[in-house]
Structure 1
Amino acid sequence: MTEEFLSGTTGNPWESGTLALVEEAVRKAAAAEIMPRFRQLAAHEIVEKNGPHDLVTVADRSAEEHLTASLTALLPGSVVVGEEAVHADPAVYDALRGDAPVWIVDPVDGTRQFVHGDPGFCTLVALARHGEVLASWTYAPALDEMAVAVRGHGARLYGVPIRSGSPAPGAVLEVAMSHPDFTTPEEKQALLALHTDGIHGRPCGSAGLEYLAVARGELDAVAFSWENAWDHAAGLLLVHEAGGTDLTLTGEPFRITGANALPFTAARDEPTARTLHDLLRAARPA
């Protein structure tokens, strides 16, 4: 059912019109619920969920409600696993292991940037079934950037195919990694191994936009120590369809259903991913 939804009668998802319908739903949610509040938030519209570095705003909640209604209407029988719904009821996450098609939604990825008036935030939507991500949409409304990926059919930015390529031989690897505020002592120790000759590491911003940077060849890799599906599902498919790959500490691909060996990395190509994986694994044996 999900594959037919994406491919329509043409068999080619890029020609079916379905991708455009989802893109339109994402754009409408951002236009209605996010952008009118960008740089206009009142203090009472910003709440700490799990401390001062984990924020939620009225825009996050309203955009997720908007997307939940529009996406499930597009695909009857589908369900939504959204960041804010899971925060309210962790059992919602179990839908990723069920039989129904699942929309994985992060309404505002990079809420901290959004709150501070920085345009580096995005809306992430992925469509998955049986733990496999089939399509994804990464939309940065303040930058007007829309990237779409379909499993087995490539990745596009502004409708143009993108490829991640490989780093230049001998170049210093540019890596965005989990912010220290979101790591355990063991994970922090592993990530510190990436601060070495030949690698320049920095704290990540919006995970979705960091993945997009990898997919378009502007960033060599990311390394993350948390596994919430809404942060990674869309971006990982984007990276894979652009030619990149990912590895958890055990050498296995990341699973959106959880129980991954962390930290994990996603990179422009397999050799880069392997280099980072080996450093992380040596610093924190699985």
Structure 2
Amino acid sequence: MSDLERISEIVIRLAREKILPRFKNLAEGDISAKSPGDLVTIADIETEQALSEELLAMFPAAVVAGEEVIAAKPDLLQGVITAEQGFLIDPVDGTNNFVKGDQKFALMLTELRKGEAVAAWIYLPVSDEITMAEKGAGAFIDGKRIKLAARKFDPEKMIAAAHINRFPEKLKLMARENIKKFSRNRPAFCAGYDYIALTKGLKDFSIYYRTLPWDHLPGSLIFSEAGGYVRSLLDGETYTIHDKNKGLLSAVSKDQWYSIREMVFPGCFQDK
């Protein structure tokens, strides 16, 4: 068994042990807020700690950190970025959904080498689907290679996952109006869930303004390895762990990416 397969097994096991037993079963004291509207639960904390311990047992020289510990100690992210081998954990992506009893949440993990994402995992605990990718080697759902099928650009039939509310006011108002040119906008409010929907062809594109690395490194690598096109809205550059407030658009092809950007934000962005 490869290291990637062993990590997949660990991710699945810990989600079953630490996350699923608390789904729709959280006590009042199991939930707190890092900031207004930004919830954290005992499942987030325990999963992050347990996965960190398992990864360090496998790779003692690695630097491992997750969203929750970084929230308390932001400088830890730099250690992951500069490490020869680093791991970045999002223990429960979509925590607000998890708290509400909505199944759209995920456990996500990214392996980095000197700041470059080289492998990623997204596990959807309720549907029991593990998706992983290795840079240059493709993307796999439950061990089966997945490749995006070519699709005609037809806005009237396209489903978006456009997360609009965090954009600056002018762009937000523009996007709210222009997204109506597409069939539907169905953001999951869980990046991991939406990236898997994109990879499976259930949605056609996603748009984000805030691009926290634990939210977007796993899905952007997986979707790219499946044949998708992921770039910064601001300048059309490849998304990296260093990007902040540049926005992010993912689409099935380069041509569709540019068409969608111009439809939603006409004349607003220019590539380098």
Q: Normalising to structure 2: TM-score of the pair? A: 0.91
- Name the aligned partner's letter for residue 53 of structure 2: A
Which residue of the partner structure matches residue 266 of structure 1? 250
Q: Of 24, 27, 42, which aligns to 2:9?
A: 24
Cα distance change, pair 218–91 in 1 and its aligned pair in 2 (3 A): same
Which residue of the partner structure matches residue 8 of structure 1? none
Q: Distance in 2 between matches of 1:188 and 1:59?
A: 33
Q: Distance in 2 between matches of 1:168 and 1:257?
A: 33
Please give the residue correspondences for 1:96-175 in structure 2 after superposition, counting only pairs within 5 Å.
96-171=80-155, 172-175=157-160
- Verify: 1:188 aligned to 2:141, yes or no: no
Q: CA RMSD in A?
A: 1.9
Q: Normalising to structure 1: TM-score of the pair? A: 0.87
Q: Of 68, 72, 86, which aligns to 2:56?
A: 72
Q: Distance in 1 between matches of 2:47 and 2:182?
A: 41
Q: Distance in 2 between matches of 1:207 and 1:20?
A: 23
Report if aligned partners of 1:81, 1:105 keep a CA contact under 8 Å in 2. yes
Q: Distance in 1 between matches of 2:120 and 2:23?
A: 24
Report if aligned partners of 1:178, 1:225 keep a CA contact under 8 Å in 2. yes
Identity of aligned residues (%): 30
Q: Distance in 1 between matches of 2:94 and 2:62?
A: 26
Q: How many equivalent residue pairs?
A: 268
Task: Give the secondary structure class of the aligned counterpart of 2:230.
Answer: strand
Cα distance change, pair 63–226 in 1 and its aligned pair in 2 (3 A): same
Please report how far the alpha carbon of residue 28 of structure 1 lies from its aligned counterpart in structure 2 after TM superposition.
2.1
- The CA deviation string for residues 10-37 of structure 1, in whole angstroms up to 9 with x for no partner, is xxxxxx5211110111112212211111
Q: Distance in 1 between matches of 2:171 and 2:214?
A: 20
- Verify: 1:35 aligned to 2:20, yes or no: yes
Q: Of 58, 61, 79, which aligns to 2:45?
A: 61
Cα distance change, pair 158–49 in 1 and its aligned pair in 2 (3 A): same
Unaligned stretches of 5+ residues in structure 1: 1-15
Please report how far the alpha carbon of residue 199 of structure 1 lies from its aligned counterpart in structure 2 after TM superposition.
5.2
Report if aligned partners of 2:108, 2:192 keep a CA contact under 8 Å in 1. yes
Cα distance change, pair 131–199 in 1 and its aligned pair in 2 (3 A): farther
